[in-house]
Amino acid sequence: MTEGAKAGVPVWDLFLRLFHWLLVLCLGVSWGTAELGVEYREYHFYSGYCALGLIIFRLLWGLFGTPYARFLNFLRGPGHLFAYLQARFSRATPPEIYPGHNPVGGWAAIALLAMVAAQAITGLFADDDILYTGPYNEAVSDQLAGELTQWHHQLFDGLLVLVVVHLIAIVVYRFGFNERLTAAMLHGRKGLAAFGAFAPLGKTPWLRGLLAIALAAASVWLLLELAPEPVYDEYYY
C-alpha cells in the first residue's frame, strides 16, 4: 500500500469542510446571542446573515462544487435508501460503498441545511416586541410577522433535535461500524481499507470556491439592500 493510500483518499474538499465548521460556529454564536437577550440582538442578526450566506454557498457548491459535494451525487431514491439500511444492519451482506455521504447521510444533510435555511429566513421577518425587527418585518402584516416569529422559536427546537440525532449517528458510525466520519470532516480524507478504491478528488478548485463565496456574500448583501426601510414607533423617541 502506498503512503497516499494509507493516509486515505480525499473526499471532502477544503471549501466544504470550512463550510461545515463555520456553520457549527455560526449556529453556536446565533444561539448564544439569542439567549443573551436584546443587548446582543445586533450580533444575533450578523451571525444569522452569516448562516444565510453559508447556506447559499452550500446550494451553489451542491450544484457546481467538487464531485462528492454535489447533491446529485448523494441524493438517492427510496430503493437505495432501504437497500442501504437493510445491508447496514443485517450484517449478512456488506452495504454498498459510498465515498461521500451514504443515502441516509445525504438526506440528513439536506434536512439540516433546510432547517438552518428556514431558521435564518424566518428570522428576517421576526420581531422581538422590544426594539429589534428582522429587515423584512415591514414587508409582511403584523399577524404574519408574529407567526413567523413563533416559527423562528419553534424551528430552533427542531434544529436542536436534528443536531443531536446528527451527533448520535456519528457516534454510532464510530463505535458501531468503525468509521471515523469526524476525522474525515476535519482533514477531508477517508481510509481506503474501509471504503475500497474510488476516484480521488483532485486539486482544490480555488477559483470556483472563491467565486461561490463571492456570489453567496453578494446575495446576502443584495437581500439586505432590497429590504424595506424600517418604520419606527414614536414610542421609541
Q: Which residue bears the cell 439536506?
A: 110
Q: Which residue bears the cell 422559536?
A: 153
Among 9, 44, 65, 216, binds ligand HEM (CB under 6 A): 44
> How near is the Cβ of 105 to ligand HEM at its closest, in Å?
3
By the rule CB under 6 A, 208 interacts with ligand HEM: no
**CA distance linking residue 17 with residue 22, whole number of Å:** 8
Structure letter (DSSP) for residue 106: H
Q: Quick one: three-class SS letters along 25-79?
A: HHHHHHHHHHHHCHHHHHHHHHHHHHHHHHHHHHHHHHHHCCHHHCHHHHCCCHH
Among 181, 215, 223, 227, binds ligand HEM (CB under 6 A): 181
By beta-carbon proximity to ligand HEM, the closer residue of 83 and 158 is 158
Among 123, 201, 212, 213, binds ligand HEM (CB under 6 A): 123
**CA distance linking residue 157 with residue 147, whole number of Å:** 16
By beta-carbon proximity to ligand HEM, the closer residue of 8 and 134 is 134
Among 9, 13, 15, 34, binds ligand HEM (CB under 6 A): 34
By the rule CB under 6 A, 113 interacts with ligand HEM: yes
By beta-carbon proximity to ligand HEM, the closer residue of 24 and 222 is 24
**CA distance linking residue 69 with residue 66, whole number of Å:** 5
**CA distance linking residue 103 with residue 75, whole number of Å:** 6
> How near is the Cβ of 51 to ligand HEM at its closest, in Å?
4
Beta strand 9-10 with 189-190 is: antiparallel
Q: Which residues bind ligand HEM (CB under 6 A)?
A: 20, 23-24, 27, 30-31, 34, 44-45, 48-49, 51, 58, 101, 105, 109, 112-113, 116, 119-120, 123-124, 126, 128, 132, 134-135, 149, 152-153, 156, 163, 166-167, 170, 181-182, 185
